[in-house]
Amino acid sequence: MTDDERTEAPEVDVAKERDEYLDALQRLKAEFDNYRKRVAREEAVLAARASERLVRELVPVLDDLERALEAANEHEDAKLEEGVRLVHRSLADLLTREGLVEVETDGKFDPHSQEALLAQPSDAEEGTVIQVLQKGYKLGDRVLRPARVVVSQGSNG
Amino acid sequence: MTDDERTEAPEVDVAKERDEYLDALQRLKAEFDNYRKRVAREEAVLAARASERLVRELVPVLDDLERALEAANEHEDAKLEEGVRLVHRSLADLLTREGLVEVETDGKFDPHSQEALLAQPSDAEEGTVIQVLQKGYKLGDRVLRPARVVVSQGSNG
């Protein structure tokens, strides 16, 4: 009998362990599946919320623009001009809060953040930016749009 | 011998199964942990990317505004006016693509999407909107801002 028990005991334990592991495995699988589904739903909501925040901030800019348009319709040029300045300031401030910064264009041409559309003879040192044709913008480290520039070829002769 | 084999076989199977389940459980746990960490990182990136997309679309609007400002500085009023119309159209289109819609103000006052700032005697049916003081906006079903309106009290007498 003692021999029998000794051989039976580990067998029972192993079966019990096997059942516990299987049970834990199935529960974890179900939990993981639910988590994956929840994440998919939440990601859609999250993206929507991030743009909603910005859209909400743009509504007053649209209001200001419409007021400027009314001034234009009534040929109130001073009011129109003032309106445009206001809209510009609001939008520029909003974008600055979002992290938008202008690409710097002082000094040497930088191929990472600038695009050279032309090279021209100039008194400025060769390879420096002498004119900005279109402003460039960065968001954090990322260049959203390179600055389009004219680069000096140095003085010819 | 046949008897021995018969009793030993299931025991070995059970132990093998237990080991397999434990192994699967540990692998799934590790996978789940990694997934959770990845999701946390991705959600931050996702929110940033959603606003980045909008910021990127707003850069040309800012360009147009700056051109309008230049026209204002040079007192080219026709060009300024044209510029403001262009900016307005771009921004309005962008916001429409994002799902922004104006709150309707035709007909009966709707407390869910409108705010009554005034009630005035009018020939219009009592409880209808007779004037819009500020446009309201919805994003999907959500009211971002109620329309501010004047409501008819009906004709007095």
Q: Do B98 and A17 touch (CB under 8 A)?
A: no
Residue B83 with chain A: CB contacts under 8 Å: 84
Between CA A113 and CA A105 the distance in angstroms is 9
pLDDT tens sequence for chain A (157 residues): 444 444 556 777 889 999 999 999 999 999 999 999 999 888 888 878 888 889 999 999 999 999 998 988 888 888 899 999 999 999 999 999 999 999 999 999 999 999 999 999 999 999 999 999 999 999 988 999 999 999 999 886 5
For the residues of A83-152, what is the DSSP string, one character each? HHHHHHHHHHHHHHHTTEEEPP-SSB--TTTEEEEEEEE-SSPTTBEEEEEE--EEETTEEEEPEEEEEE
Between CA B91 and CA A145 the distance in angstroms is 19
Taking residue B103's Cβ as centre, other Cβ atoms within 10 Å add up to: 21
pLDDT given at position A8: 56
Of A18, A63, A68, the CB nearest to B21: A18
Predicted-complex ipTM score:
0.73
Of A15, A51, A77, the CB nearest to B98: A51
Reported confidence tier of residue B1, pLDDT bands at 50, 70, 90: very low
Whether residue A18 lies within 8 A of chain B, CB to CB, comes out as yes
Of A21, A88, A144, the CB nearest to B59: A144
Whether residue A78 lies within 8 A of chain B, CB to CB, comes out as no
Please report the sign of the dihedral spanned by the C-alpha atoms of residue A14, residue A15, residue A17, residue A22.
positive
**Mean pLDDT for all residues in chain B:** 89
| pTM for the model | 0.73
Asked whether residue B89 carries a pLDDT value surpassing 90, the answer given is yes
Task: Name the one residue in this structure whose structure tokens are 């540990």.
Answer: B26
pLDDT given at position A1: 45
Instruction: Say how many CB pairs under 8 Å bridge A and B.
Output: 166
Reported confidence tier of residue B128, pLDDT bands at 50, 70, 90: very high
